[in-house]
Amino acid sequence: MTKSLDPLADYNARRDFSRTAEPRGQVGAGGAKRRFVVQKHAASRLHYDFRLEWNGVLLSWAVTKGPSPDPGEKRLAVRTEDHPLDYGDFEGTIPKGEYGGGTVMLWDTGGWVPQEDFEKGLSDGKLKFTLQGQRMKGGWALVRMRGKPNETRENWLLIKERDDYAEGDPDGFTKGKAVSVKTGRTMTQIAEDAPAKAPPDPAPDRCRKRPAFVKPQLATLVAEAPEGVDWLHETKFDGYRCLAALGKGGMRLYTRSGKDWTDRFHALDGAFDPLSCDAALIDGEVMAARIHGSAFSSLQKALKQGNALVFFAFDLLRIDGDDLRKLPQIERRERLARLLSGVPSGGPLRLSEHIVGKGPEVFANACKAGAEGIISKRIDAPYRGTRSKAWRKVKCTRRQEFVIVGYSPSDKAGRPFASILLASPGCDALRYKGRVGTGFSDAVMADLAGAMTPRKTPPCDDVPDDIARDAQWVRADLVAEVEFTEFTGDGYVRHASFLGLRDDKNADDVGLEEPMEDGNDTTMQGIRISNASRPVFPDAGCTKGDVARHYARVGERLIALAGHRPLSLFRCPSGISDPCFFQKHDGGGMPGELSRVNIEESDGDSADYLYATRPESLIAAAQMGSIEFHIWGARTDRLERPDRLVFDLDPDEGLDWADVQSAAFDVRDTLADIGLQSGAIVTGGKGVHVWLALRRTRGWDSVKLFAKTFAHVMAERAPDRYTATMSKSKRKGRIFIDWLRNERGATAIAPYSLRARPGAHVAVPVTWDELKDLDGANRFSMSDMAARLKADCPAAQVQDNLQSLSDGVIDALQTLSEE
């Protein structure tokens, strides 16, 4: 067709809009989803008008015999004038004598996706696209025929591609599909202007509220399938995890992270319609209906081209207002099987089959059949929206999701990169895990290159120098699925192959999976760490082994500053998400690497207290679930002579970090005014400790009185900013200068101790210049310690600068209090 400056000029010129109800031609803006339309048209000759939305109009072809689902049947499609987008809703009768006079039915409509460069295809005469209609689905092609000399019309052929939607009957589409998808009327009823009916095969009118998305239960990777009849086993599907929510307002399909992918999974439209329920929430996995190569790559191709999908259902969480999640797994499966009992076999909705017992045998057979692995589930377990050992996965091959952090350039023409660089979240930081340079088709490589967003600095700091030297860094927001044989001794993937991008997962959701077993032990500096893979800081991806590793790393510094002091341990044996507790007495059962000292308490009784003398003491405490170490202000060799003075600046909830910073400098300067030099420790929480080392010349009562007096002086000088009283009412809008840390038996967080809070933060000594530039007291986490330890410890100089609460210092404080 010859293009005009106005693509609808020909359309408008052919019609008298005072006589026809057809819409006047105007180029439209279009929507987010391109539309296609097929209109059955009883003009001088019955035909079907096939229209594709493009550049604000409907490109149009007249298909003389109608579309055919048979790939061997090539139907003549004559190119006609472009139509306005509004024409896609037109159904009615064009008056006789007008252009195209006759009855028009809206025979099919839906979305469509080009498979190749559409403008180029339009010019070259070969269009390939995927239809997502109510009747026409899957891949199609329009091919322009070679024209005869002086022929004015463009003849094309409409051809169905060979896919899951193809049929052998050439007239399978037009047979029996005699009513409008919009009004449910026949051509005769439209001509008679009969009232609209319900469209054919309507989706069920569900009357209950559609269930909301819930976090799905996740499986724990293990090395072996569990045995016994307490477990059921099913195939581990290599697709996208999906929760289907049915109810009033239609169906929604959610990914594992809660993204609404209903539109992306459009091939499942109508799949859940046969279910006899008013509302349901079904857990399952979306797969490609036809597998070519790997199941995962087939799924990605199916999503891109609009090919058929299958939803394998394996759990029922809600139905008709009932929450089934507390029921045993086997009961939920039975309810699910009953719900799906009327669904046609081989369709887009299928029940995931399972076997009870014989786990190792089921796993072996799954691997022989080429499956990715199996999922084993306790038959008596409820459904929990978290990772649990009640669901276990066993893989036939090693596969892992990694975050893409960069790529190595290629020296081959036309190849955008040689390999991509991989990382996985470690303890609150990305850790380099190697690279992958195989498994990419040219198309995948081009798509991936276009999806990566450049950045100047590396997302992780442990990439080997020889790789980092030429690496091009990218924003760490793409997730790759990779198959590999093993991890090397350095922790890098060996013989890796790229499987595809995980669009359904965020980079923050990626975690390195290692088989977890009871007795997953490791040894650190001669100390056995049991269940080293147990999560301790789930949000940061830090395990019990990471905690022990932290104390091995910072041990020398922590002991130098906090060793040989009575301890209170804050223990979280099952991680910070579960109950934790303080322990200050031995009580028996604590490891021998921790030393004991018998201390008389205020009530006259005595008890054994624990203290650390070497890094192994800290590691052994970590083995017992210790997260935090809180220390006395005196050492065990002279318990009644404190050698440490500390002021804990504790802000009210309404104050921000700048208020705390300002207070720390105020305390520092006031101490300097009376002749004392101090240091700072950010606590890993909200506050700052201002502290100094003392000569052991005074007892607890004197040190406590000095600290109390100093805090009250600060509060009296700036009563709107500070309080020296613990009372909540007095602390409103103020910073509590906590001087109570300086009495016998009181403790303060040890430098380099972890804090049992989300983020795996650490209490860290800082210089005053550093404090000025920090953005919070929880600035440092476990992952920062390797770099931090390369520099001198700011607390060492404070520790070496022993000072006395001399008469001169006390007199200076007295003078301040009288001002």
Q: Is residue 348 part of a domain?
A: yes
Q: For the chain, what is the radius of gyration of the CA atoms? A: 36
Q: Does residue 304 share a domain with residue 163? A: no
Q: For residue 605, count CB atoms less than 10 angstroms from its CB and return exposed for 0-12, middle for 13-18, buried for 19 or more.
A: exposed
Helix (H/G/I), strand (E/B), else coil: 411: coil
Q: Is residue 805 part of a domain?
A: yes
- CA dihedral (222, 223, 229, 235) positive or negative: positive
CB 532 within 8 A of CB 521: yes
Domain span at 389: 218-395
d(Cα 84, Cα 92) in Å, to the nearest integer? Answer: 16
d(Cα 818, Cα 178) in Å, to the nearest integer? Answer: 100
pLDDT, position 31: 62
d(Cα 501, Cα 498) in Å, to the nearest integer? Answer: 9
Question: If you search the block for the tokens 């195209």, which residue do you land on?
Answer: 100
N- to C-terminal Cα distance for the chain?
95
What are the CA-CA distances from residue 508 to residues 128, 477, 537, 540 (Å)? 37, 8, 14, 10
Task: Give the residue from 638, 655, 686 where a domain finishes.
Answer: 638
Q: Does residue 26 share a domain with residue 141? A: yes
Task: Give the residue from 191, 207, 240 where a domain finishes.
Answer: 191
Query: For 91-106, b where at least 16 C-beta lie within 10 A, e where not — what string?
Result: bebbeeebebebbbbb
Helix (H/G/I), strand (E/B), else coil: 649: strand
Q: Does residue 45 share a domain with residue 177? A: yes
User: From the candidates 128, 236, 505, 704, which is the catalytic residue?
Assistant: 236
State the maximum Cα–Cα separation within the chain, in Å, rounded to a whole number.
115
Q: Does residue 36 share a domain with residue 102? A: yes
Q: Is residue 651 part of a domain?
A: yes
Q: Does residue 286 share a domain with residue 378? A: yes
Along the chain (819 residues), what's the average pLDDT of each consecutive run of 10 residues?
Answer: 71 90 83 84 92 92 92 92 92 90 92 86 91 86 87 90 81 78 87 74 70 90 88 88 88 89 82 87 87 63 72 93 92 92 83 90 85 89 88 85 88 84 78 86 82 80 82 86 78 83 78 60 86 84 89 94 96 91 89 93 88 96 96 96 96 92 96 96 95 96 96 94 86 92 96 94 96 92 86 94 94 87
Number of residues that make up the chain: 819
Phi, psi for residue 334 in degrees, rounded to 5? -65, -40
Q: Is residue 515 part of a domain?
A: no
CB 284 within 8 A of CB 311: yes
- CATH of residue 353: 3.30.470.30
- CATH of residue 630: 3.90.920.10
d(Cα 594, Cα 393) in Å, to the nearest integer? Answer: 39
Q: Does residue 499 share a domain with residue 459? A: yes
Q: Vertex 813, ends 811 and 818: CA angle to 5°?
A: 95
> How do strand 349-351 and strand 57-63 relate by DSSP bridges?
unpaired
CB 231 within 8 A of CB 216: no
Q: Is residue 4 part of a domain?
A: no
Both tokens assigned to 510: 């990626």
Q: Does residue 70 share a domain with residue 118? A: yes
Q: Is residue 309 part of a domain?
A: yes
d(Cα 65, Cα 45) in Å, to the nearest integer? Answer: 10
Q: Does residue 479 share a domain with residue 370? A: no
pLDDT, position 2: 47
CB 761 within 8 A of CB 681: no
Helix (H/G/I), strand (E/B), else coil: 130: strand
Q: How many CA atoms lie within 13 A of 611 on its CB side?
A: 25
Both tokens assigned to 373: 């692995």
Q: Does residue 536 share a domain with residue 499? A: no
Query: What is the number of domains present in the chain?
Result: 5
Task: Give the residue from 379, 395, 411 where a domain finishes.
Answer: 395
Q: Is residue 301 part of a domain?
A: yes
Q: Is residue 210 part of a domain?
A: no
Q: Does residue 720 share a domain with residue 580? A: no
Q: Does residue 250 share a domain with residue 179? A: no
Q: Does residue 158 share a domain with residue 272? A: no
User: 236 an active-site residue?
Assistant: yes
